[in-house]
Structure formats: C-alpha cells, structure tokens
Amino acid sequence: MMLLVNIDDALNNSIIPENIILFRWVKFNSLEIDKIQINKYFAEKGYVSTNLIPSVPNEIDYNLLFIIKAPKGKRGAIISNISKRTHVNEYEFLLPRNQIFKIIQVVYLKGNKGILLCNLC
C-alpha cells in the first residue's frame, strides 16, 4: 500500500509542462470494439502506461492503438529510466489512476484492429 501512496504522490506532483501526444496499445475483444463511438468517454481505474513514441507491439498481444492528446497541466511522468520493463525503444510515460478519456476520432477501424484519437480529460 505504501508503494501506491508513493506512486500517487509522485504522479500528483508531476505536471505535464506542454501539450503532448501519448500512445497506448491495448487488447480489445470484438464486443468492446463494437462499442467504440466518437464522443464516448471511458475511464481507466488503474495507472495508465503510455509511450512517448508510437512503437509497434507484438501483434498477438495488442490490437488497438490509442493516440492520446494530453494537455499541459495534467499529471503524469516519464518513468522509462526507472521502469524495469523498459525496452530499448520505449519511452514510458505513466498517468495517474482514474483517468478519463474521450474518443474524438476513429482514425482506423477494420475487423478487430483499430486506431483511436482521444483526449485526456
């Protein structure tokens, strides 16, 4: 529990200094993909791991890319230099728990693969 408090404190004290774009690959099933709509809000209850570059994941693991517009003043921090799961071309950026996102554009959606443009609210 103390680790979560420390992570929460660190993220709450880290302010995004300028508008940035973040990338997040996720695994969605076909039922979830069918519910995707422009202007729909969704929440992530846990910490949100994102990347500062659009790296290509293992296609078996992920099928949906969120391109996230994160505005200046929101909370979050680069953790790639302290994350134990960092890969050579990964620049991990962690967002605090309980984030809300809004889908603003479906860039690509075919079958079970897609790219969505979202705002961090």
Q: How many folded domains does the chain comprise?
A: 1
Q: What is the model's pLDDT at position 29?
A: 75
Q: What is the model's pLDDT at position 79?
A: 87
Q: What is the model's pLDDT at position 101?
A: 97
- Give the mean pLDDT of 115-120: 97
CATH number for the domain harbouring residue 6: 3.90.176.10
Assign 4 a pLDDT band (cuts: 50, 70, 90): low
Structural domain for 111, as ranges:
2-120
Range of lowest pLDDT (33-37, 38-42, 49-53, 111-115): 33-37
* Residue type (1 letter), 14: S
Q: What is the model's pLDDT at position 48?
A: 95
Each residue's pLDDT tens digit, 63-107: 899 999 999 999 999 986 655 554 555 689 999 999 999 999 999
Give the global pTM: 0.86
CA distance 16 to 38: 25
Collapsed DSSP state (helix, strand, coil) of residue 34: helix
DSSP secondary structure of 2-33? HHHHHHHHHHHT-B--S-EEEEEEE---HHHH
Query: Is the per-residue pLDDT at 1 higher than 70?
Result: no
Bridge partners of 27, per DSSP, are none
Mean confidence (pLDDT) of the chain: 86
CA distance 41 to 25: 18
